[in-house]
Structure 1
Amino acid sequence: MTAPATPVAPRKRLLASIHDVSPRFERQVDMLAERLSGHLGAGRFAMLVIPDHWRGAPIAGNAAFQARLRGWADMGIEMFLHGWAHKDETPATQGLAGFKGKHMTAGEGEFLNLSHAQAVERMSAGKALVEDILGRPVAGFIAPAWLYGEGAHAALSELGFALAEDHMKVWRPADGMVLAKGPVITWASRSKARIASSLWFSALARQALPALRTVRVAVHPGDTTVPALLASIDSTLARFARSHVPSRYASLQGPAGLF
């Protein structure tokens, strides 16, 4: 009689990403890519591409940076669209949207207050631009500062993005299915208070989050300016690389991908 198969434990995943990939931050992105590669292996992370950071660093027409994007994608790095300008040009002043825009980002919640039509226009243009450069589909869409308004959510559901992400989850826009849950571990460099709070949270996360099926880590160009943040990033990546397999976001779409 054949013995029953031993159940296979679900694979734990580590998803890492470099935000704000733009010609404006090319040197810092190189530094972060080298750091992540050292912990996770070459190409075992994602990049979030901004087509025209603050409308002063366009990728369109920049052949050298376009070649860099293709080279990174050829290494296996997943490429997400990360807004269009990464700048909130329609800021709210009241209510929950106003609170988020003021306290959760430094004027960069681009998709927090856009109408449906505006969100469709920017997402469509960004998707077409980046996919034309790469010669392949983008991996998904992640809004600047992980902030989405109603217009952005509506646009996501109809534009064919495979994945989307906010502070607390990764989901599939086509049907709204949540594929991973848990807070993003990230760092902030724009003030002493935010540096201190992000160091505190990342230290807590190293102790509290190893049981999560999927752990997400996100780094930003500004992190490279603060040695304490870089040390914390190293500690965090090293800790989770021991318990979680450095993986691609696309792996969440598989049968073992949920949560």
Structure 2
Amino acid sequence: MRIPPLGGARRRDGLCDRPRRGGAGASRRPRRRHGAELNARTDPRLAPDGAARIGAIVLVGGRARRLGGIAKPLLVLAGASLLARTVTALAGAGAAPVVAVGPRLDDSEVVWVREDPPFGGPVAALAAAFARDELANTEWLLLLAGDLVRPEAVVAGLCGSLPAAEGLAEASEAIVFRADGHPQWLAGIYRATAVRAALATLGDPAAASCRALLGGLAIRWIEDQDGITADVDTPADLHRARADRTRADRAAAENEETS
């Protein structure tokens, strides 16, 4: 799968610069999509009755020890925080509701919930999200890390791989990216009933890994050949992401000048 290169506004220096107000690359309030705008027979985001089929869980509660304990989802790339970029990507894909698990970081239009215990790990975060009534009727769930560099590409790749409504009976239980042979559990879309069943038989979620919870599902893999599942774990990761954005902006500007 080839994903278009990055584009957008100039990078900002500093770990947590405040996002710009307005202008290219700034975070905008997501536009709400209504079922009447979508075709329930062909759009994989909708159930046959026109109800939303896809919700999302975004994990934002890590300790970020290698970044000095900073809230990684609030790191700024191209004028918007990583969390804002993720919420915007999910809104553009018609995913609703969106549950963010971790300490409340900003005023994003999401459902905030805290894992038990705090910093209990991704499976504890999943268990906390699934306990919310908002996800009770959701058929598929996007599961994303809150520090993805290119959430729009990840969401587009996953939603684009989801089967149309007519083919649900033959669908896998999950569609997950794999990078260099390693499963990217927090860059996947999962059938909600399958994850609920796995949680019910797991035991203590705080002591479990994503592989223990999700590895037994029937998974269709997407090979990440373009590095779109990259996240930010270290200052070097952030520097690389901003440098990549700068190069992409420069290339886009040059192409525009020559076109």
Measured against the shorter chain, the TM-score band is under 0.3
Q: TM-score, normalised by structure 2?
A: 0.26
Q: TM-score, normalised by structure 1?
A: 0.26
